[in-house]
Chains A and B, each alone.
Chain A
Amino acid sequence: MTNPAEPDEPDRPAAPAVRPFLRTPGSGPAYAPASAPEPAPAVPPGEQPASLRPFVITSGRVAGQDAGIGLETQVSALPGATGARLSPEQRAIVQLCGEPLSVAEISARLRLHFGVARILVGDLRAAGHLDVHVLENDFPDPETIMRVIRGLRSIS
């Protein structure tokens, strides 16, 4: 069964890596454990949130194209995007990112698993709601490191 953070591990345990309460039946087959599907909880039809939230969590997508998005990657909301079709999690992310924020902070503040936060951020970027400032270089250059050194030295 797939799992957002480790798409290429077919033999790992079936437990999905999302918060348990997000594993509602309608959240897509990708999050229902193949071997042991959970019984659908008895929810009155009017209160069944899953049917109203087609984009809940990650729409069954796994990481991969978002591989460039790291823990520290900065994310900021793009103005003018309407939240009409966004899931509550996605809307919360856009609202948080009025000022630039790292994906790790998004994950911590919304109590979303990092792998889930990263996928949602990737989707929101694709949909034009977020600026995701992915850095091209793998290792910082000497000038940047020198500036960190000077900055830390000034801490007392």
Chain B
Amino acid sequence: MDFDPYPDRRVVGTARVPGAPQKTTPPVPVKIIVAGGFGVGKTTTVGAISEISPLTTEAEMTLEAVGVDDPGPATAKTTTTIAMDFGCVTIDQTLKLYLFGTPGQSRFSFMWDDLVRGALGALVVVDTSRIDDCYPAVDYFERAGLPFVVGVNTFNGQLGYNLDEVRWALAIRDDVPVLQFDARYRASVRDALLVVLDQALDKAMRMRSS
């Protein structure tokens, strides 16, 4: 490698054998999370833009029962294996975007810090017939300070509610974009991801200037 394109992102913990032949330098990976309830179109979203057909990995997620009435010591934490779909988009030889589709359940809040660490942001996919399925994801990304965008997947062009109603139901901050997209179409998913990236850029600029 004759130049360092990412002076800010130093690679650490690389133990090269001295004198070993130069191997392909890996790309810098960045990731966006695609979250939402069951069957809202997460896998469809990932598959629409990924250059590989989505792969699945199983991982542990800590679930905490949402007990609004009873926040006592009995608040149950369980660990569940979840299946995550993921895909990728090669930006160029030195940069690769990963998309991780992760399920949520309405009665549990999930905590999985591996997932959000280093993530650019998240697209929360919503089916307007079951809006509350996405509450845990919204809660979690708000608490984690991760930029996110709410994407209402238009099943057959049908929107049960308009976007303002979705925003109201989710009680999200005004600066969180709520948009409409179609998970089956690459251009539509691309545009939704570009809005996520816009939010991520804002955060990166704020971090730099502080």
Which A residues fall within an 8 A CB radius of B?
3, 5-6, 9, 11-13, 17, 68, 70-80, 99-100, 102, 104-105, 107-109, 113-115, 117, 125, 128, 131-149, 151-153, 155-156
Taking a contact as CB atoms under 8 Å apart, the answer to whether B186 and A155 are in contact is yes
Q: Give 5 nearest A-B pairs by CB, closest first.
A: A100-B26, A151-B91, A5-B60, A74-B26, A72-B29
Closest to A74 in B: B26
Taking a contact as CB atoms under 8 Å apart, the answer to whether B27 and A151 are in contact is no
Asked if B30 is an interface residue, CB under 8 A from chain A, the answer is yes
CA distance in complex: A17, B59 (Å): 9
Task: Determine the chain A residues whose CB is within 8 A of the CB of B78 once the complex forms.
Answer: 12-13
Taking a contact as CB atoms under 8 Å apart, the answer to whether B8 and A141 are in contact is yes
Q: Which candidate, B10-18, B152-160, B163-171, is the interface stretch facing chain A?
A: B10-18
CA distance in complex: A93, B204 (Å): 34
Taking a contact as CB atoms under 8 Å apart, the answer to whether B10 and A136 are in contact is yes
CA distance in complex: A75, B13 (Å): 12
Q: Describe B's contact surface by its main secondary structure.
A: mixed
Closest to B58 in A: A113
Number of B residues contacting the other chain (C-beta, 8 Å)? 63
Taking a contact as CB atoms under 8 Å apart, the answer to whether B9 and A134 are in contact is no
Q: What are 30 contact pairs spanning A and B, CB under 8 A? A: A6-B60, A6-B79, A9-B77, A17-B81, A71-B86, A71-B115, A72-B29, A74-B26, A74-B29, A76-B26, A100-B26, A107-B59, A108-B56, A114-B58, A128-B17, A133-B13, A135-B9, A135-B12, A136-B9, A137-B8, A139-B118, A139-B204, A142-B205, A144-B30, A145-B120, A145-B204, A147-B91, A152-B97, A152-B194, A156-B186
Asked if B162 is an interface residue, CB under 8 A from chain A, the answer is no
Taking a contact as CB atoms under 8 Å apart, the answer to whether B55 and A104 are in contact is yes
Taking a contact as CB atoms under 8 Å apart, the answer to whether B91 and A73 are in contact is no
A80's partner among B20, B91, B95 (CB-CB below 8 A) is: B20
Closest to A122 in B: B13
